[in-house]
Amino acid sequence: MNRRKPMESAMPIHISIFEHPEFSSMLASQPYAEGVIFAVASAPEIPMPEEWMPWVIEQSGSQSISKQQADELADGLMKQLRDALDAMRKQAALLPAYCQWSQECEKRRALCDWLKGVLTGHQQLEKVWQRAWHQGGEQGSDLPALAERLTRCLKLFSTLAEPEQALANAPDNKRSTLHEGLPKLFVSLPAMLQEYVAISGELAGHLPNQFETFQSE
């Protein structure tokens, strides 16, 4: 019986795109990339894949892939986006389980990288947020209150993404208090991620349309 061997690049359903041997070297680290994807999923208006996917793909002139591989890579990244959207829709945990706080730099690296991805994604989508901000103002949203809430979220993300830098920038008389308070800031992170998503939803007004669009693809 002649059995045709499956193509090597076919990605098993049970593994993520970051675990695939052919694609893992093409992508940024899983925590960073998943942080970027979280920011994309959280945006008031989700950009098209061709806009955001390059943010998580490592650029290398020596790498060339086939159309089939490119399609599989895109499908894998879209699955990550759909999973993030699904978690938001279900109000499930938004912070990956591998993101944990520790006083030791190496043990909190995944958390820091994930938050750096979130902040990078937010920065890349700044025009999207500004457009939604303008529309929200026209619709009567309380923009000063939203701005204060968003600033609070981003400040927390930034502090936990680079705690050493945050401590270095803190006034001398507040540095010790900040250092002791970092674990408590981490405890508040899940709620602040929900807040970040809620702010986006208030600005966009119709995020369910985006859930339906990207979950149906």
> Measuring CA to CA, which residue among 122, 10, 120, 32 is closest to residue 76?
10
| 25: in domain | yes
Write out pLDDT tens, residues 65-109.
Answer: 788 988 999 999 999 999 999 999 999 999 999 999 999 999 999
Give the Cα separation of 16 and 34 in Å (integer). 11
DSSP state of 61: T
| 151: in domain | yes
- pLDDT, residue 86, reads 96
CA of residue 20 relative to chain centroid, distance: 20
Question: Would you say residue 19 has pLDDT above 50?
Answer: yes
Please tell me which residue, 209 or 74, carries the higher pLDDT value. 74
Give me the percent of the chain exceeding a pLDDT of 70: 82
| 52: in domain | yes
- pLDDT, residue 93, reads 95
| 202: in domain | yes
- pLDDT, residue 123, reads 97
- pLDDT, residue 205, reads 66
- pLDDT, residue 94, reads 97
3-state DSSP assignment of residue 57: strand
Contact by Cβ (8 Å): 18, 113: no
| 116: in domain | yes
Q: Which domain holds residue 67?
A: 17-215
pLDDT band at 134 (very low <50, low <70, confident <90, very high): confident
pLDDT band at 60 (very low <50, low <70, confident <90, very high): low
| 41: in domain | yes
3-state DSSP assignment of residue 27: strand
Task: Indicate the number of domains in the chain.
Answer: 1
| 106: in domain | yes
- pLDDT, residue 22, reads 81
- pLDDT, residue 65, reads 77
Contact by Cβ (8 Å): 124, 209: no
| 9: in domain | no
Q: Compute CA distances 21 → 9, 30, 73, 98, whole Å.
A: 9, 13, 12, 21
Question: Would you say residue 217 has pLDDT above 80?
Answer: no
